[in-house]
Every structure is written in structure tokens, then in C-alpha cells.
Amino acid sequence: MKRATIAIAMLLSVSRADANVGENQAAIEKRYGKGFHETILNDHQILRSYSLKGLKIIVTFIDGVSQAETYGKESNSQLSESEITALLHQNSRGEKWIQVNDPHVSDKMWKLPDEVMVAGYNEGDKKLYLFTRAMTEFTKKQKAAEKPK
């Protein structure tokens, strides 16, 4: 556990302090390396998986820009509080995350003050999810388009 925490701390210390979410594919690949799996969901949306220092990172790109990222340990163990805090800080855009409660959505939740991004950690699947308002709006439009008229 200590080794994984140290590895993630090292990962975050060499990464820039600004957001991962919101970066384009080239910036993400510079940060995480080449993706090892890709799923094209539609003309606008691609999921790409990365592996870096004990983390599996799944990035959702919409029109080439990261709008959601999921972090989990390759060992499938829980992320520690310090690891979650470090990942949130890395994606804070210089803002302070505010903890919110919605047990129907996630075990632990946070949002940025301008609500441009939210995050959630689920202990059941041991993953931290970060997504932008643009991702939420895109998902709503996709669901509305799928509904029969």
C-alpha cells in the first residue's frame, strides 16, 4: 500500500499542476504515454485507456479533448485518501474542491466552485471519476437523441 501511495505521489510530482481533464489527446499522451486500448463510441466520443505507475486511467475524449477521466489502481485496491486528494489537486484548475453529499451518485463527491467539474469516488469499484459540465451535457444530449419520439 505504501509503495503504491509513493508511486502515485511521484507521478503527481512530475506532472504539471494544471488540469488533466480539458487537455487534448497530444497533451494527455505526453503525460500518460501511449494508450493501450481505444474504443470509439461515436463520431465525437473516444475512450482511451492508459497505464502509468500502478494506475489505470481511462480518458473520455469528446472532439479530441478530455472531458472525463477515471483513475483506479492496476492492483484493484482502494485509492487512499492522500491519493484521492493528490488526484483532485492535479485536476483542480487552481480551485479548491468542495465536498458534497449525494449517496445516490457516489460514496464521496466533490465539485469545483464554478461547477465546471465534479468528481466522485466509489469504494465498491475503487475508482475516482472526474467529469466536466461539457461531458454531462454531451451525455444528456446523447440520451435525449436515443429516446423514441
pLDDT string in tens for the chain (149-residue length): 555 444 444 444 434 334 489 899 999 999 899 999 999 999 999 999 999 999 999 999 999 999 999 999 999 999 999 999 999 999 998 899 999 987 777 889 999 998 899 999 998 999 999 999 889 888 888 888 887 76
Predicted local confidence at residue 148, as pLDDT: 75
**By residue range, what is the domain housing residue 62?**
2-146
3-state secondary structure of 72: strand
Looking at the 3D structure of the chain, how many domains does it have?
1
Predicted local confidence at residue 149, as pLDDT: 65
Cross-strand partners of 129: 70, 120
Full DSSP string of 84-146:
HHHHHHHTSTTSPPEEE--TTT-SEEEE-TTSSEEEEEETTTTEEEEEEHHHHHHHHHHHHHH
* Angle in degrees, 0-180, between the axes of helices 81-90 and 2-14, rounded to the nearest 10: 10
Predicted local confidence at residue 12, as pLDDT: 43
Cα separation, 94 vs 131, whole angstroms: 16
Predicted local confidence at residue 142, as pLDDT: 84
C-alpha cell belonging to residue 106: 457516489
In order of 14, 109, 137, 142, 149, the CA distances from 72 in angstroms are 19, 16, 24, 26, 39
Closest CA to 110 of 102, 95, 100: 100
Predicted local confidence at residue 17, as pLDDT: 36
